[in-house]
Amino acid sequence: MKKTAASFLLVTALLGMLLTACSGKSNNNVESPSPTSTPTASESANPSPSSEPGQTQEPEQTEKPDEKAEESSTDKIVNQMLKKIEQPSLFDLTEETLKDYYDIDRELIEEFTIKTPAINLISNEIAVVKVKDAKNIDAIKKSMEQRAKDVQKMFEQYLPEPYKNAQNYKIAVEGDYVLFLISESADDLVKAFKNAVV
């Protein structure tokens, strides 16, 4: 009798713990959409094509005006280029990492969009910089030439294809915009850049 009562209490306690654990998980599932919906609004400050497909309809509607307001002219140019000529997965360079990759004086440029490789096995890179004054274009071009040398050094010892790709980098100027790119499709991307600048 005592064993049956003890077993009953043990089973009841285990069921109670199980229900508590399950209800905790379901609460987490219910609560998780609201924290994720809040950050997506803040994520719109750094618009990226990869963030849109995963969004629900409501956040998309609230984000679209923000994205238009936040999307710079350099973002638009790069996005138009990438719509025409597909490239490997690339990540956006931020204000914080600009100096690490490019020795560009931030005071000389109005805005920039720079996309670097998602993996270290490729050398593809796209940078569009809008200068504040056309007299600074040569300084920006020198920084981009140095970036090409840095990328070449990364690959010359162990990956011949990305190294060769980096040797064939392109720099182009259209108005106040300066383009730097490393790509197998460099010539097509330069054309797309010139067409995108209006």
Q: What is the pTM of this model?
A: 0.64
Is residue 163 within 8 A of residue 156, CB to CB? The reply is yes
In terms of average pLDDT, the best of 10-19, 70-79, 167-176 is 167-176
Between 30-39, 110-119, 136-145, the lowest mean confidence (pLDDT) is in: 30-39
Task: Report d(CA 89, CA 102) in Å as an integer.
Answer: 20
| C-alpha 146: how far from chain center | 23
Q: How far is CA 178 from the centre of its chain?
A: 20
**Helix, strand, coil distribution of the chain in percent, nearest 5:** 60, 15, 25
How many Å apart are CA 24 and CA 134, to the nearest integer? 60
193 contacts 180 by C-beta, under 8 angstroms: no
pLDDT at residue 97, rounded to an integer: 87
How far apart are the C-alpha atoms of 167 and 182, rounded to whole Å?
Answer: 8
